[in-house]
Structure 1
Amino acid sequence: MALSFPYALDFLASCLVGPDIPLALQRFDERSGASDSRFWGIQMAMPLWGATYPLYSAKGAHAREVNAKVYSLNGMSKTMLWADPYYTGPASGVRSGLGNVTVASVRQDRGAIGLSGLPVGFVLSAGDYLSIAYASGRIYFGTFAEGGVAGGAGGLGQRDLFPYLPFGIGVGDRIDLVRPHFKAMVTEFTPFASHRGKWGDSASITIMQKP
């Protein structure tokens, strides 16, 4: 059976686990300054999520399998779906009843959204992740900057998030709050090394969001 791209979440990403996952937004800003301590900055491109981390050792056969799957991404030319393996969902601990959450509204500057389809009384927290599939294969991934409590109809008024929503996302699009993910490319990879203990170790990976 031929490989399908992007790889599904449980095909490769669930194997890429290490002691720490330093997921962070990487900015592409250009800065300049003057002798009087004034500084200016301009955003050259939208921020992208990324992480560099070591991988846990694995049994030899599994280590070789992971190596092969990463090699088959052919550098940065192909992608996989990736989710933080240590993220367990909203900070409130509620994971049920979130299968039909959708975008209810989008602020004009695209820096906030309203939500519908939430369980009544659901608590959204600043720092909760979300992802939204849109435009036939693209995936937005972001974090809420403020929280709130869903009302009696399961709605929540507009809450700030970051990065801002790209064009193409609109009212009615489904929001994933349980296992938010994004499309990622591997920019650097140190493969598992084998040794006589029949284990693979010393692997590390750098991933970056593919917008």
Structure 2
Amino acid sequence: MTLVFPLAPNVLNDKLPIAAVVWDQKRMDRISGQASGRFWGAELAPPLWRPTIELATRPSSEMKRYAALIRALHGVQNGFFLTDPLSPFPAADPGGQILGNSQVQIESIPSHRSSQSFKGLPPFYQLSIADKFTVVYGSNPTRYGFFEITEDAAATSDGTTGLIGVYPHLPAGVAENAVVILAKPFGLFVVEPGSHNPGRARRHLTEGAGFTAIQKLFA
């Protein structure tokens, strides 16, 4: 079957035997200063998520399949969807059973765009700092926003929340009523050039495989 890009989670993400991860970011900041100690800082572009993935030691017959899929991305030409393995569901609902099939949406966004309110949550649903969520928005191209909640909060009896801090800022294209994905949220990523290590084969086992991914906002 021909590969379809970006690679869906069940093609690569869900199969990777992740042993360790550093779920970090790449910021686009610039600082200038004076000898007096005064300095000024500016964000030149939105930050990008930059996870470093270490894969477990596995049979070489298995590991070479992952290496082949990563090479099939043709460097940064094609992307894949990746979920933070530390945050596949909200912390207060580890398996997503409470969330179920709830249709969660953005209710409102203030002008500073560093927070939002939610609607469509189960009554009294708990959201925690560091929970992740996805918002798919726009068309031609479709964009994939991957965000982090920055404070603890809970829904009211009608499934809505007050304004909750999020990181990074919501882009201009994200609007009220946009669908929010809290169960297995994902971002769109490419493999950072030069970072892929297919691993070292030692007899029938391969060890030391891994890569660094960098977020891409649209395919």
Corresponding residue of 1:167: 172
1:117 aligns with 2:123: no
Q: Do the aligned partners of 2:121 and 2:155 also contact (CA within 8 Å) in 1?
A: yes
CA-CA distance at 1:190 after TM superposition? 0.9
CA distance in structure 1 between the partners assigned to 2:147 and 2:112 by the alignment: 15
The runs of 4+ residues in structure 1 deviating greater than 4 Å are none
CA distance in structure 2 between the partners assigned to 1:84 and 1:143 by the alignment: 11
Q: Do the aligned partners of 2:87 and 2:131 also contact (CA within 8 Å) in 1?
A: no
> What pairs with 1:150-189 in structure 2 (closer than 5 Å)?
150-187=155-192, 188-189=195-196
CA-CA distance at 1:192 after TM superposition? 2.4
CA-CA distance at 1:193 after TM superposition? 2.7
Corresponding residue of 2:74: 74
CA distance in structure 2 between the partners assigned to 1:91 and 1:97 by the alignment: 12
> What pairs with 1:34-183 in structure 2 (closer than 5 Å)?
34-93=34-93, 95=96, 96-98=98-100, 99-136=102-139, 137-183=142-188
CA distance in structure 2 between the partners assigned to 1:134 and 1:30 by the alignment: 29
1:199 to 185, 196, 205: 205
CA-CA distance at 1:14 after TM superposition? 2.5
Corresponding residue of 1:3: 3
Q: Do the aligned partners of 1:190 and 1:204 also contact (CA within 8 Å) in 2?
A: yes
Secondary structure of residue in 1 paired with 2:64: helix
Q: What amino acid maps onto 1:56 in structure 2? A: A
1:210 aligns with 2:216: yes
CA-CA distance at 1:85 after TM superposition? 2.2
Q: Cα RMSD over matched residues?
A: 1.5
Unaligned runs of 5+ in 2: none
Q: What amino acid maps onto 1:203 in structure 2? A: A
CA-CA distance at 1:53 after TM superposition? 3.3
Bigger shift: residues 144-153 or 8-17: 8-17
Q: What amino acid maps onto 1:54 in structure 2? A: E
Q: What amino acid maps onto 2:143 in structure 1? A: R
CA-CA distance at 1:106 after TM superposition? 1.0
CA-CA distance at 1:18 after TM superposition? 3.4
Q: What amino acid maps onto 2:207 in structure 1? A: D
1:142-173 CA distance string (max 9 Å, x none): 11112222112111111111101112211211
CA distance in structure 1 between the partners assigned to 2:115 and 2:143 by the alignment: 19
CA distance in structure 2 between the partners assigned to 1:47 and 1:106 by the alignment: 20
When normalised by structure 2's length, the TM-score is 0.90
Identity of aligned residues (%): 28
Secondary structure of residue in 2 paired with 1:70: helix
When normalised by structure 1's length, the TM-score is 0.93
Unaligned runs of 5+ in 1: none
